[in-house]
């Protein structure tokens, strides 16, 4: 969804003849400017850790603690209130920029309204994800990817500033909200089939996010400064193929678990190499780096799958204990 948001912003800037390119660096979260531009691995790690802590806090409060405190079975009532609080929570940025003299009063009001609306939609989307998943993990992953992309991937104008960050965020989050809303209602109608489709799409998007984060770290290591929009779509297509491979592996009965893991890795690696030669990735990164990235992404995805299964088992055990 961010790819669409970036595409819209680029089109507008190109039409205004102010487009200067996509830049990859760590920045402080701001409304109309980027306070810092750091490209070192250290700042990348600080950004990731900071976003992780922020996501734990916000999801724990707005999708965990506050709904429990309201203690209502009416999902949309509780979700609307908590999401509105989540939207208002984010007006600190525009107010801070106005106080610092980086924005006019009218600009502060406009940015605050846009941010409240987009953040409220994000809150509604994350609440639906939490409801469908039965836990906070998937919502945390979505929230983390959103914040990390905003902090790392920037579109600059000829003035050297990020002028339309909130337009990009609003477009991306509105489309994302509509998709999740569609899946939310479809899941209720289609039953198990809808849940399987939802799980497939969730896994594909999460895998895409993980690949882009790993690719970002590798790009920084090689002194890269940007990621092409086409790479994002290529990565999404590869993630869909890898998800198909994973479902194929579920159908194969392999007694030796290590042999199964090795076969899974080799199939995914083969897909990566095919995409690598098709989209000229091998001309930009050595094959052994692609193989290493493939292994890291596979390990992270397996860890998320195991964590999700463990959470489901714990929830089932808890329900059984309550009945007893």
For residue 74, give both structure tokens.
Answer: 């009416």
Low-confidence ranges of the chain (pLDDT < 50): 29-34
pTM of the model: 0.55
pLDDT in the model for residue 160: 57
Which residue in 90, 83, 152 sits closest to 124, CA to CA? 83
**SS in 3 state form for 5-32?**
HHHHHHHHHHHCCCEEEEEECECCCCCC
pLDDT in the model for residue 183: 79
**Is the Cβ–Cβ distance between 272 and 244 less than 8 Å?**
no
d(CA 264, CA 245): 8
**Is the Cβ–Cβ distance between 8 and 179 less than 8 Å?**
no
pLDDT in the model for residue 30: 44
């Amino acid at each position: 969804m961010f790819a669409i948001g970036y595409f819209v912003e680029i089109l507008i800037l190109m039409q205004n003849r102010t487009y200067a390119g996509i830049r990859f660096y760590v920045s402080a979260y701001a409304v109309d400017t980027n306070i810092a531009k750091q490209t070192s691995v250290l700042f990348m790690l600080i950004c990731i850790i900071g976003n992780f802590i922020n996501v734990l806090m916000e999801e724990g409060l707005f999708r965990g603690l506050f709904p429990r405190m309201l203690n209502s079975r009416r999902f949309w009532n509780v979700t609307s209130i908590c999401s509105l609080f989540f939207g208002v929570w984010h007006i600190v940025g525009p107010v801070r920029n106005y106080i610092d003299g980086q924005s006019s009063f009218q600009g502060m009001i406009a940015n605050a309204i846009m941010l409240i609306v987009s953040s409220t939609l994000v809150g509604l989307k994350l609440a639906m994800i939490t409801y469908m998943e039965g836990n906070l993990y998937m919502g945390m992953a979505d929230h983390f990817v959103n914040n990390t992309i905003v902090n790392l991937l920037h579109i600059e104008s000829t003035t050297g500033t990020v002028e339309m960050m909130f337009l990009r965020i609003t477009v991306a989050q509105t489309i994302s909200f509509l998709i999740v809303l569609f899946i939310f209602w479809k899941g209720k109608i289609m039953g198990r089939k809808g849940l399987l489709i939802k799980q497939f799409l969730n896994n594909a998007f999460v895998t895409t996010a993980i690949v882009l984060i790993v690719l970002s770290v590798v790009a920084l290591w090689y002194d890269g400064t940007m990621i092409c929009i086409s790479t994002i779509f290529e990565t999404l297509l590869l993630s869909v193929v890898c998800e198909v491979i994973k479902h194929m592996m579920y159908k194969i009965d392999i007694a030796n678990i290590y042999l199964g893991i090795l076969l899974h890795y080799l199939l995914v690696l083969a897909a990566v190499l095919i995409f690598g030669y098709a989209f000229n990735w091998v001309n930009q990164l050595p094959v052994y780096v692609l193989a290493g990235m493939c292994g890291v992404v596979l390990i992270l995805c397996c860890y998320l799958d195991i964590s999700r299964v463990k959470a489901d088992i714990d929830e089932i055990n808890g329900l059984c204990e309550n009945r007893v």
